[in-house]
Amino acid sequence: MKRSDKEIEYLLKSIDVSDRKFFIISPDFKILTVNRYTSEQHNHDVIGKLCHETFYECSSPCKGCPAVGVVETFMPALREKQYDKKSFKWESCQFSYPIIEDKKIGALVLLDFERPGSMAVEEELKRSNAFFRNLISSSIDGVIATNMKGKILIFNDAAAEISGISVREALSGMDIRSIYPDDVARGIMEKLRSEDYGGKGKLKSYRMDVTRDDGKTIPILLNAALVYEGEREVASIGFFHDMSEELKMKSDLEKTHVQLLQAEKMSALGKLSAGVAHQLNNPLGGITLFAKLLLEEYDLEEAAQDDLKRILLDAERCRDTVKELLEFARQTSHIIQPHNINKAILRTLFLLENQSLFQNVKIIKDLSEDLPDVPVDMQQMNHVFMNIILNAAQAMEGHGTLNITTGIVDNQDKAFIKISDTGPGIPEDVLPQIFDPFFTTKDEGQGTGLGLSMVYGIIQDHKGNISVKSTVGEGTTFNIELPLKYKNHEGENSGEQY
């Protein structure tokens, strides 16, 4: 075949315009000619030099070089795209074919090229797909995508956690309607197609519940979108945010807030009653004084004298109540001093006995006369007895028997106070929680749940201990033990006795 000069010129040009390496070597790997791009890459004379030394810095033909195969087989050979670990770069594919002359290989053509459709793009795509897969699977929110028939296409770990369905199960052709009922699925699609929930194709912050197979209901905040190809709906994707923790935190916070308000109210009430008691002291003093004067200085009829005596008696009772109330609510810094525990119990009972809650409660007191004074902060002890006795009366709903016993523990170094009631008892699962702050079984507004936690703290401060035994249907007994010798926090005896 004879070619015109023009043809030859075009053929050469077509090779020279390529921006890929194109070169021809001898069967012993010497460079015979190169295209313009190759010569520009190596700005020195390359003709006659060994190709592996010149182009690839190898002392012998490169590993995997397609030309080596061509020399052996006479057949064209391809080396797939390679990653060069030295340069951290992808090297393009290399293709080599022989130029046969007299049944021998006269020369070999070598060229670099990128695959049509581009390997680089494919790799990039693979990598970005892997990145997105990672992104979706590590999302804290459940991500579920479905096609328009409802078949699940994407389902991450968080979705598995929320739904209780494994990723494998979900991705094995499961329908989204197995996770939430048909009407919910339909409702979501309707909202997605409407303009009213964040724009067409979008659904923002939609509250729904997912009921798992194990019966657990999970509150969900759903953000969803329709995926379009042109105008056509092809898929839907939903981001499911589990609200359980947030809702629990919110309700705990609200509860704590209410309880704190209640505690504040109680403390304010305590202060108020102490204030009122104080105010009553002076007029009560006046009533007593003048009633006595009337009795002593006037020669009154017997009936009038009896009336005056009655006035005096009642005024004295009022004064006693005021005194106990003041003692009870006294705001003092914590001072641990020897006190008569029996007296403290009697004072609490004195304040409570006439309350309607105690009208039908039989109170049995078995207070040891031999009980020595116990080192306590009296005001705190008042709180302890008041809380436990009130709890007992509340549990018995005003009907039953309250037993209070005091004494010395067998080995003599502790006083004990036992307070028992014949109430309904405390169920086993509730028992471990009764000393927790804010734990209450009472209706909202009825109890703060702080009573026993305060009691526990106070007894701890006194280096004592408190335990509870309860039998449902029979009653509850609280047992407090207080050391007769007070030890400070370092465990040393502080002072001579206390």
Ligand X SMILES: Nc1ncnc2c1ncn2[C@@H]1O[C@H](COP(=O)(O)OP(=O)(O)OP(=O)(O)O)[C@@H](O)[C@H]1O
Footprint of ligand X on this chain (CB under 6 A)?
387, 391-392, 395, 421, 423, 426, 434, 439-442, 447-453, 476
Of 142 and 449, nearer to ligand X (C-beta) is 449
Of 342 and 387, nearer to ligand X (C-beta) is 387
Residue 357 contacts residue 394 (beta carbons within 8 Å): yes
Of 239 and 385, nearer to ligand X (C-beta) is 385
- For the CB of residue 149, give the shortest distance to Mg ion in the complex, in Å: 59
Of 81 and 383, nearer to ligand X (C-beta) is 383
CA–CA distance, 33 with 36 (Å, rounded to integer): 10
* Among 76-84, 346-354, 448-456, 482-490, the segment contacting Mg ion (CB under 5 A): 448-456
- For the CB of residue 475, give the shortest distance to Mg ion in the complex, in Å: 16
438, interface contact from ligand X, Mg ion, none, CB < 5-8 Å by kind = none
Q: In angstroms, what CA-CA distances link 6 with 3, 16, 422, 481?
A: 8, 15, 119, 116
* Among 15-23, 212-220, 267-275, 446-454, the segment contacting Mg ion (CB under 5 A): 446-454
386, interface contact from Mg ion, ligand X, none, CB < 5-8 Å by kind = none
Q: In angstroms, what CA-CA distances link 76 with 12, 24, 80, 96, 382?
A: 21, 14, 13, 6, 102
CA 193 to chain centre: 35
Q: Is 348 in the site for Mg ion (CB under 5 A)?
A: no
Q: What angle do CA 102, 107, 110 make, to 5 degrees?
A: 145
- For the CB of residue 277, give the shortest distance to ligand X in the complex, in Å: 22
- For the CB of residue 154, give the shortest distance to Mg ion in the complex, in Å: 53
- For the CB of residue 284, give the shortest distance to ligand X in the complex, in Å: 30
Question: How many Cα atoms occupy the beta-carbon half-sphere of 268 within 13 Å?
Answer: 6
Please report where in the chains the tokens 């020369």 appear, as a residue. Answer: 107
Please report where in the chains the tokens 């102490």 appear, as a residue. Answer: 274
- For the CB of residue 134, give the shortest distance to Mg ion in the complex, in Å: 53
Of 416 and 486, nearer to ligand X (C-beta) is 416
- For the CB of residue 451, give the shortest distance to Mg ion in the complex, in Å: 3
Residue from the set 66, 238, 451, 464 that interacts with Mg ion by CB under 5 A: 451
Of 95 and 439, nearer to ligand X (C-beta) is 439
Rg (CA), the chain: 47
325, interface contact from ligand X, Mg ion, none, CB < 5-8 Å by kind = none
Buried-state track 307-318, b at ≥16 Cβ within 10 A, e below 16: ebeebbeebeeb
Residue 429, SS3? coil
Of 133 and 442, nearer to ligand X (C-beta) is 442
CA–CA distance, 373 with 415 (Å, rounded to integer): 9
Number of chain positions touching Mg ion (CB under 5 A):
2
348, interface contact from Mg ion, ligand X, none, CB < 5-8 Å by kind = none
456, interface contact from ligand X, Mg ion, none, CB < 5-8 Å by kind = none
AA identity, residue 47: I
Of 107 and 357, nearer to Mg ion (C-beta) is 357
Q: What angle do CA 11, 12, 17 make, to 5 degrees?
A: 105
Burial of 42 from C-beta contacts in 10 A (0-12 / 13-18 / 19+): middle
Q: In angstroms, what CA-CA distances link 254 with 165, 208, 219, 434, 444?
A: 33, 22, 18, 20, 12
341, interface contact from ligand X, Mg ion, none, CB < 5-8 Å by kind = none
Question: What is the DSSP pairing of strand 142-147 with strand 232-242?
Answer: antiparallel
Of 197 and 435, nearer to ligand X (C-beta) is 435
Of 275 and 427, nearer to ligand X (C-beta) is 427
434, interface contact from ligand X, Mg ion, none, CB < 5-8 Å by kind = ligand X
- For the CB of residue 303, give the shortest distance to ligand X in the complex, in Å: 47
Crossing angle of helices 302-329 and 378-395, rounded to 10°: 100
CA–CA distance, 495 with 338 (Å, rounded to integer): 12
Of 30 and 418, nearer to ligand X (C-beta) is 418
Question: Contact letters (x/-) for Mg ion, 24-43, by CB under 5 A?
Answer: --------------------
342, interface contact from ligand X, Mg ion, none, CB < 5-8 Å by kind = none
> The sheet that has 232-242: what strands, in order across it?
152-155, 142-147, 232-242, 217-229, 202-211
Residue from the set 262, 391, 403, 422 that interacts with Mg ion by CB under 5 A: 391
Q: Which residues bind Mg ion (CB under 5 A)?
A: 391, 451
